[in-house]
Amino acid sequence: MLSFSEKRKLQKIVQEGLAGLDAGLSFAEKRRVQKDIADALAKLNAAIDTGIDNQKLADLIAGKFNGEAPERFLAILKEIVKEINDVEPVKEPTIKYIEANAA
């Protein structure tokens, strides 16, 4: 899972990002900051929500593998399911992967 320093770094990204949104940023810059905040929160939530100590699962939930090719993504899913012996935690991230890669 995430180390204390990694968690603190993510918390700082969220805190500074939220403070920065009030500044007079351009639309594109606001969208970038919002994405950074969302990514940091997803990683923090993954670290909290998973009672299973599995970094690959945490990365999957945080969306780290959403840019992978379908074959690689399925291989990662297979590894995670085999390691944790459960399918339930991979359902929602798989749906997000499909939505992100639907073309």
User: pLDDT in tens for each of the 103 residues of the chain?
Assistant: 567 788 788 889 888 888 888 777 888 888 898 998 888 888 877 666 555 567 888 888 888 898 899 999 999 999 988 888 888 888 888 888 888 888 6
69 and 37 assigned to the same domain = no
Residue-range definition of the domain harbouring residue 72: 53-103
Q: Do 84 and 99 fall within a single domain? A: yes
Give the separation between CA 8 and CA 96, rounded to whole angstroms. 26
The encoded tokens of residue 87 equal 């399918």
pLDDT of residue 1: 54
Give yes or no: residues 20 and 35 share one domain: yes
Predicted local distance difference test score (pLDDT) of residue 51? 55
According to DSSP H, which parts of 1-103 are helical?
4-21, 27-49, 55-61, 70-84, 88-101
What total of structural domains would you count in the chain? 2
80's CB contacts (< 8 A; 6+ apart) are 54, 56, 57, 60, 89, 90
Query: Do 39 and 63 sit in the same domain of this protein?
Result: no
57 and 83 part of one domain: yes
Q: Are 60 and 42 in the same domain? A: no
pLDDT of residue 77: 92
Same domain, 37 and 60: no
pLDDT given at position 73 = 93
Say yes or no: 73 and 101 in one domain: yes
Residue count of the chain: 103
